Structures are given as C-alpha cells and as structure tokens.
Amino acid sequence: MKKHFIYLGLVISALSHAMEPGSEGVYLEKSVISTVGYEQSLQNTTKNIQIITKEEISEKNFKDITEVLESSPLITITRNSVGESIQMRGSGLNSKATVQVLVDGATINPVDINHGTLPLNSVSVSSIEKIEILPGGNGVLYGDGFTGGLVNIITKSSVDKTGGYVGFRYGSDNERKFETGTSVKVNDNLAFIIDYSKEDNDTNRDYENTKNEHFNLTTLLKLSEDDKLKLQYTYYNKKSKTAELLTKAELDADASQSGIDFTGSELGSSALEGSTDQLDRSNLTRNEFSMNYDKNINSKLSLNLNMSYQESKNDVHTKEITMANFATGTGFFDSIDYRDYYADNIGTFTDEKFKINPSVKYEYGNDSYLILGYDYKLQKSKRDFENFMDMYKVYNLNSEKESHGIYAFNKTSVDKLQFLQGVRREWTKFDTTKNTHYYHRVTPGFINGGYVDSGLKSDQIKKSMRNDSYELAINYLYSDTGNIYTRFEQSFRTPAPTEFQDKIDNVYAINDLKAETNQTIEIGLKDYAFGSFISLNAFAGRTKDEIYYEEVTHGKHWTYSNLDETRRKGFEMGLEQTVGKFVFFENLAFVDATISSDSTNKSIEGNYVPYTPKTNANIGTAIYFTNNFNTALTLNYKDQYYLDKENKYKAKDTVSLDLSVNYTLDNGLKLYGGINNLLDRQNFDQEGISNGEQVYDPSSGRTFYSGFKYTF
C-alpha cells in the first residue's frame, strides 16, 4: 500500500506543472478507429483509450511490440511455455481468449489458446502508424472474445513521397537487428510500402535463443475520389529455444542456468537417455493476406469492407521426463527395471482464420449516425504429433469454430449530449475430431513386449451456441476540450474448441462448458485541467461462468470449468504535461478482481482471480534539448499477483527504470542508444507452479543497446 501512495503523490505533484499554450491541440488531433470501426475524435469516445503514436515508438526506441505494450500501465504481459498473453483489467489466466490483438482490424489471437502462440511481434514496429489500447469490453462491434480489452495495431496507409530507411541495432545478450524498407509513390492513385527486418538474440539464460524475421508488402490503390483499397501481405517467422523454469534452489545457485539435468543425478540415475538437449524448440511461420475497402457512396452513406486470411504453423520439439523399462540383465526381475528418460514431443500446431466484415455507416444528422454490420468467421486449429512422449502412434486433433454475427450501433447527438446504443447477436458452431492410437512402452518387458497398445480411437465433439452483446452510453461535451461519459456493456466469450475436453487421471472426458458473460458499468472523463491532459475513469463489472483452466498433473490430469461469478472493480488514470522542453507523464491503473461465487469450491470465494496484478503504474519525462536531440526516462511498476485460485502462490512485482537517448542529424541519420532496467533489479519474465513448487524464469538484468536508422 505504501507504494500506491508514492505513485499517487507523484501524480498529484505533477499537476502543478504548467502546460505550454496550444499543446492541447496535439490531443484534439488524435483520432480513434477501434471504438466504432470508423475514425472519430478522441473527445467523442466513451471509453478509456491510450494511443501510442509512431513518434513515441521511435523516441523510446522500442525494438518490438512486446516492449511497446509493456510500457503501458493498462497492460500486463504474462508468459508461459507457448508464448505471451496480454492481460488487462484483471482478465486473468485465459487472457489469450479475452484480450484481442488486432492488426488493421483483424485479430491475430490463436484459435487453440492452450498450445497456440499469440504472434505479438509479427508486425515490425517500423510499419506501425499507431497503436490503440482499449481496456474493457468491446463485444458489440467485434463480438466473441472481446471481454477484457483490445489492442489495435494500425499500420501505414498513406505515402506522401517516395523514400526509404535502413537501420541496425546491437545490444546486450548478443542482440542484433537489421531493418530496411521503402515507400514508393507511383502516382496519386498507386503506392507501395515494403518493410523487412531480421533479428537474432540470446537471452540471459544458457542456450536460449530467439530469431525473428518480418516482411510486409502493402499496396494502396485510389480507385476514385470516393474509393480506396488497401491490400496487404505479411510474413513472419520466429525460431526459438526456450529453457524450463527454475526452482528456487536452482535460481539461487545460478539464475542464468537452463535447469538441465544432463547427468540424471537429480533423478537418482547415473545418466538419462535423451539428455543431450532438453530445451523446447519452436519454429513459427505465419502468413496473412488482408484487404480493406472504403467507399463513400454519397455524402451520408459510406461502406467499409474488411477481409483477411491467416495461417500460422508452429513446429515444436520438446522433451519430458517419462518412464520405461530397460532390461539390464537376463534374470526375471531384471526385466522390470524402470528408468527415467527424456521422451520427445514432436508436433505441429496449425491455426487458420478467415474473416469477412462488411459494414455501412449512415449519417443522418449533426454528428449522428447508424452503423449496420455483419461478420463471418471461420477458425480452424490442428494438432499433429509425429511423436508424443513415446505414447502414441497416432495423435491428431482437428477443430473448427464457425460464427455469424450481426450488429447495429447508433449515435445520436443533441447539442452537447451524445447518446450511443449497440446490439449484437452471434451464432457459433464447434466441430472437433480427435484420433489417437495409444502405444506406450511402460510395462515390464515380459508383458506385450513392454508396450501397451489400445488401438485406434476416434472422438468427436459438436456444440452450438447463441450469444448477445449490448452497449448503452451517454457522452456529455461540457467544454471545447472536455467530455464526461458513462456506459454499460455486456460482452461474451465462447470456449475455444479444445476447451471442451478434460483429462482426469489419464482418461479424456467431454465437459459441458458454457460461454462466459461479462457486464461492466463505467464512468470517465477526458480534459485539460490544472495544466495537464487528464484521462480518468472508474469501472465495476461481473463475469458469470468465467472459464478457468486447472492443471493437477501435467499431461495427465487437467480440467476446464465455469466459475459461478467473478467481480472486478477499479480505476485508470493518465496525465501528461508539457513544460518548456520537458514532457511529463504519469499513469496509474488499479483493479480488484475476486472470485465472488463458486458452488463447486466454496473455500475460494473471496480469493483474488489468478494472474491479475492490482496496480500498474509508470511515470517519466521526455526532454527535448533541441529539435535534434532528446532523451526519455521511464519508471515502470507492475504489481504482484497470485498464480492459483487458492491464492497460495504469489508472483513477484516488477520494477524497471529505462533510459533512451536519440540524436537525429539534418541529413536523416538517427543515432540512438539506451539502458533498460537501469537499477539492475531482478525481475521475472514468467513464474509458475510445477509439482506443488513455485518456479521462475528470470529476466535480464541491466542491458544496453545502441543503433542507427537512416531515413531518406
């Protein structure tokens, strides 16, 4: 609690700074796309929203989208063995299904949220125009899965003149990044944008490594004064080697180790079969094709059409300790000598997504309009294993999720009052087929030659659901720069296809999982007061039937269930002041997320929802010494959170002080550098629970980077 008062004190003290005259215009010019699907001013939005511009990304030298989003107090990024998740407003463990990431309106979240990867860095930061962050529900416009919030990454969509750039960055942990790109304006009706980058870096853990490659091609066509077409192709490849999390004893002994038991001494064996390399290996390849078409039919009616197709394929190779018999002699009892050894998991996880979303906007009065829309989504996921811990001859899982949604959104303005209403209905069908042939060497050698063979088995799961979203809001523009609003929304999240199956004591069972429904009421304001830009809001909400995953024994016993009810309440505040050559910013987000009711386990009622930190905050300053030379210093704080619904295990808080410096020459050459985690504090990229023990993935300590970017 003491830390909370410190941050509030810093925020309040900053209000005394005087803002430069006219600086409020910077904010008035900002526009938002995510809130209604069509561009509108920030003042006309009835939601809390943070906009991160391409200029901010450049000035703070963020190398990828992960770093950009980690700088936001509205976001906590959590990690596990299959990648990253974005958590907002206490969205919890399953935030990969409740906080959606969009690239130009198309969501990139995986269909298989358990083993699928959120390709968060599939877009190069050099191709970004801005990023919009909206915490809370957005179910009317976007539908299924938008209960926790959304991040809309908007790429460049205009070319003023032909030009290009080239750059290189080098840093700690052997970080190396090369980037280049060009914008070609053929004429007033045709332009191309090309971006390419390649990155290779180790981590602070032994043997870990990540390699990223991006390519983006955008074609901009102006068919007429009223018709614009944007065609885009994006390629992304990520190769990584990842170590297991460390126990507390391993962490204290050597935080940089990978925790690999090469000798087998920890398991009481002199050596382990297959113990040469136990790091998880992943090769993710992603291709996306998208189209956006805008047409002004007349002065009152406009059409927008979005289409996208995505394919992500992740080839994985992991190892897990299992048991088998190894005959060590000729005697009877020698044939039942069991040994621990590392078995291979070799498989491919594939996601395919197709979406088409036409909508029309009819303007019928002064700042009044009606939006009617339809969307069709077809999502497929596949799991194909060549080998699964030496247990299966055949293991594949094919899932399909198909949905149709219709929605209407209306805004009526009467003088300074704006009234907004929205409604959506969505129909969803699930179809999953699983084929398995269990064939495992776990028995004594004299029984079936040491193998269990249960034959080929096929299971099918078919489900269908219908869900609704609603939104009501009132916005009052009480001055030229200020607005105050209140809104109510109901949004929903249907299960992922793979969540309909539990595994209890090695036996699969189909569950009766329901969709979760979230209802939230919110009040907020945005204005300039006390010499500061202010964004302030408070919210309270409840989620019925929240989907919760619980793992008892890895690979052997896990279940999905609906918690009866969870509740969340909190507030978010953002401030910014300009004083001469200084820009100060202070941001604070607080959420209290609890399990209010659970009929299956009364003992957890009143506990905090796992993976929901209470307080996130950042404060900092940017100093513009000259038009060519600037620096930024930012202190980020992420609170502790529980790792389990019993609230027995708690993850550590995160504190990082980051410095960036930029010098741009008049010829277009930018030289930059920086220090991350200036205080060299021990933070953790990930914390978890394994066999009843808390385990850790330590992040890097103090790191350095430098580079250049030449724009021509």
User: Torsions phi, psi of 390, nearest 5?
Assistant: 60, 25
* Straight-line distance from the first to the last Cα atom of the chain, in angstroms, rounded to the nearest whole number: 50
Beta bridge partners of 398: 382, 433
The count of domains in the chain is: 1
pLDDT in tens, 560-616: 889 899 999 999 999 999 999 999 999 999 999 999 988 888 899 999 998 889 999
Q: Looking at 136-259, which runs of residues are DSSP E strands?
A: 149-155, 163-171, 175-187, 190-202, 209-224, 227-242, 246-247
CA distance 215 to 314: 18
CATH number of the domain to which 703 belongs: 2.40.170.20
Provide the pLDDT for residue 513: 92
- Letter string b/e over residues 196-226, b meaning 16 or more CB atoms within 10 A of that residue's CB: bbbbebbbbbeebbbebbbbbebebeeeeee
Is 614 strand, coil or helix? Answer: coil
Residue pair 419/365 in contact by the 8 Å Cβ criterion? no
| DSSP letters spanning 665-704 | -TTSEEEEEEEESTT----EEEEEEETTEEEEEE---SEE
Residue pointed to by tokens 């943070």: 50
Residue 362 is predicted with a pLDDT of 96
Structure tokens at 228: 């614009």
pLDDT, position 407: 97
**Is 153 within 8 Å of 125 (Cβ atoms)?**
no
- For 498, half-sphere exposure in the C-beta direction (CA atoms, 13 angstrom radius) is 20
Query: Could you read off the pLDDT of 7-39 as tens digits, one per residue?
Result: 444 443 433 333 343 444 444 446 566 555 566
Percent of the chain that is helix, strand, coil (3-state, to 5): 10, 60, 30
Query: Mean pLDDT in each 10-residue stretch from start to end of the chain (712 residues)?
Result: 42 38 45 59 79 89 90 83 82 85 90 84 90 90 92 91 96 95 95 96 90 95 93 95 88 85 50 62 94 94 95 89 58 54 84 95 92 96 85 87 96 94 97 87 65 85 94 93 93 91 79 93 90 90 90 73 92 91 93 90 90 92 94 94 92 94 94 95 89 89 96 94
pLDDT at residue 521, as a whole number? 96
The whole-angstrom separation of Cα 657 and Cα 707 is 20
Q: Is 612 left (phi over 0), alpha (psi -120 to 50) or beta?
A: beta
Tell me how far apart the alpha carbons of residues 270 and 145 are, in angstroms, rounded to a whole number.
Answer: 50
Instruction: State both tokens at 485.
Output: 């609003």
Given this model, what pLDDT does residue 268 score? 47
- φ, ψ of residue 536 in degrees (nearest 5): -140, 135
Alpha carbon distance 636, 677 (integer Å): 10
Q: What span, in angstroms and rounded, lies between the C-alpha atoms of 80 and 690?
A: 12
Cα 652 to Cα 76: distance, rounded to the nearest angstrom: 13
Measured in whole angstroms, the distance separating CA 537 from the mean position of its chain's CA atoms is 23
Q: 120: which 2 tokens?
A: 């968060």
The strand pairing partners of 669, in sequence order, are: 710
DSSP three-state, residue 499: helix
Return the pLDDT at 267.
47
In terms of residue numbers, what domain contains 219?
2-711
pLDDT of residue 271: 46
